Structure formats: C-alpha cells, structure tokens
Amino acid sequence: MAIKSVGVIGVGTMGAPLAGHLLKGGYTVTVSDPNREAVAALVRKGAQEAASAKEVAAQSELTLVIVADDAQVQEVCLGPQGILAAARPDHIIAICSTVQPATCRMVADAARAQGIHVLDTPMSRGVAGAVEGTLLLTVGGDAGILERCRPAFSTFATDICRLGDIGSGQVGKIVNNLVLWANVVVVREGLTLAASNGLDLATLREALIKSSADNFVLRHWDNVAGQPSWWDQKDLKAVLELAAERGVAAPVATVTKELINGFTAEQARKLLPIQVKNK
C-alpha cells in the first residue's frame, strides 16, 4: 500500500527542506520541533503541527527522525512521548540522523515487538543537498520496507543505496564522514602550502579539480567550509566510537579530529575567498 502520510520530527536546517519537498510531492506532512518558528513556517506551507513525536506517529504512516544525536533518537523513538507510544502496527520509522548503528538496532528491536519497522537512512550532501532535493541516503534495513518508502524518499534524495541490515546505513555514513573530514584536512594543508609559495589558490583549485587530486571538498569548498565548527567533531567522534567498538585501529580519524579542531568557516574562506564554479 502506498504511503500517503509522513511525519518529520526535527525541522531544522535539514528537516525543514525535507518536509517542504514532501509537501510538494503531495504527501500529508505532520511536523514537530521545539522551534516554534520553524514549525509555523511549514504549517503556512500546508503541514500539520504536532506537539510531540507521539502525536506525529499517531497521524503518520512513515516518520522521519532528524534530530541531533543518539540520546535524542532514543527519546523521540522510545520515550513516553515517543513514536512507539502511539505508532500503529506496520508504521515505519526512518532514522535520518547520523548516530551509532547500535542505537538503530536498539530502536528496531523495541519496534519489532509492536509490529513496527525501522530503517536507518542517514543523509549525505549536506544542507545544500537537502534544499535542492539531491541527498544521498545510505540505508540499512529490510529491502521490501525500503521499496515502500522509496517514492517518499525520492522527493528529497536522488540516490538511495541500501547497504545491508539495520545499522548498515549508519556505518556507510560514518565512513563517508571520515573520508570527508580527512579530505578537508589535506586540502587545507595543500592550499596553505601553495599559498606560502605565492600561488593563486583559485587558479590552483581549478587545476586540481581537473587532476588526480580531484575530490568533493575541492569541488564544494564553499559548501563544506560553511558547516558549523562543531560538526566535524561530532562526526569524527562517531568514527572513533565505532572503531573502538569493533576493535579497529583508526589513526587517520584520530589525527584528523585533532588537526581539524577549531577550523572555522571564517578561516576556510580567508584561505580561499574566491568562489570557483563547482564542477
């Protein structure tokens, strides 16, 4: 049966655009967030307001969870005012936040007892991808449940990749984040070296984008450099936690977390202030 109603818990910089795309896609959308202004803006576009995650779930067939961290995911899914307190059997929870795979498995185990399905669907390509509707979703969970959700997901994601069972999507996103932030560190180091030798960085960047050094960070420097200064620390902390859980050495993540700490958007723009057309 086709999904017609979608809930969105958390309508900040990522959740608000997603809710907007779902509305444009013809879905009935119910939203909840402590930020009253963000909720009101979506209500003006046609969304329904809910006072809690519990109320969102009661009005939806699919609920997207887009909150800050593991503790908030657990609260909005498992808490007394959470999704499982009101969701009917066959409801689907999509955990879009980037959290530990174990958190997704915990929620899935609790949901399964009530006949509720869980996918982990962390998002890549940042705020720009959310606004443009071009996100990448790495997905963990049942393939059949994903297919039921695919039309709704496709309103805001151009690429949807199932990587395996529940938690697999989070592993994929955590690996993505490691590679992303390591690239930020090495691109900054390279640009700094070039600047010290008098090179024009905008011209160099155009050349590197055409070379074997090409990478996402070079092509989207303005976008990546505009991320909040705490974002890299959150992402790399997740990498190190997962590595420790699995007993895997992660020296690059350790060094990257140290080297990138305090690297702000202002510093990034000062290093390369000239905007170059992304390829």
Judgement on whether residues 140 and 95 belong to the same structural domain of the protein: yes
Judgement on whether residues 154 and 244 belong to the same structural domain of the protein: no
Judgement on whether residues 45 and 115 belong to the same structural domain of the protein: yes
Which element (helix H / strand E) includes 32? strand 28-32
- Of 111, 141, 166, which residue constitutes the final position of a domain? 166
Lowest-pLDDT range of 51-55, 63-67, 232-236: 232-236
pLDDT for the residue 179: 97
pLDDT for the residue 246: 96
- Of 132, 166, 200, which residue constitutes the final position of a domain? 166
Judgement on whether residues 120 and 222 belong to the same structural domain of the protein: no
Lowest-pLDDT range of 62-66, 81-85, 125-129, 198-202: 125-129
pLDDT for the residue 226: 61
CATH no. for residue 186?
1.10.1040.10
Judgement on whether residues 132 and 184 belong to the same structural domain of the protein: no
With a cut of 90, say whether residue 224 has pLDDT above it. Answer: no
With a cut of 50, say whether residue 276 has pLDDT above it. Answer: no
Q: What is the mean pLDDT of the chain?
A: 94
With a cut of 70, say whether residue 263 has pLDDT above it. Answer: yes
Judgement on whether residues 111 and 228 belong to the same structural domain of the protein: no
pLDDT for the residue 279: 41
Tell me if 256 sits within 8 A of 236, measured CB to CB: yes
Domain that includes residue 86, residue range? 5-166
Domain count, the chain: 2
pLDDT for the residue 278: 44
Given 4, 54, 173, 277, the catalytic residue: 173
pLDDT for the residue 225: 67
Judgement on whether residues 69 and 191 belong to the same structural domain of the protein: no
In a domain, residue 106? The reply is yes
Query: Position 80: which residue type?
Result: P
- Of 126, 151, 166, which residue constitutes the final position of a domain? 166
In a domain, residue 237? The reply is yes
* DSSP symbols for 63-121: EEE--SSHHHHHHHHHSTTSGGGTPPTT-EEEE-S---HHHHHHHHHHHHTTT-EEEE-
Is residue 4 annotated as a catalytic residue, yes or no? no
Judgement on whether residues 248 and 264 belong to the same structural domain of the protein: yes
Judgement on whether residues 151 and 13 belong to the same structural domain of the protein: yes
pTM higher than the cut 0.85: yes
pLDDT for the residue 199: 97
Local confidence band at 175 (pLDDT 50, 70, 90 cut-offs)? very high
Judgement on whether residues 137 and 228 belong to the same structural domain of the protein: no
Strands 123-124 and 135-140: antiparallel
In a domain, residue 82? The reply is yes
What is the average per-residue pLDDT within 148-168? 98
pLDDT for the residue 57: 98
**Nearest residue to 126 via CA among 6, 242, 252, 216:** 216
With a cut of 60, say whether residue 277 has pLDDT above it. Answer: no
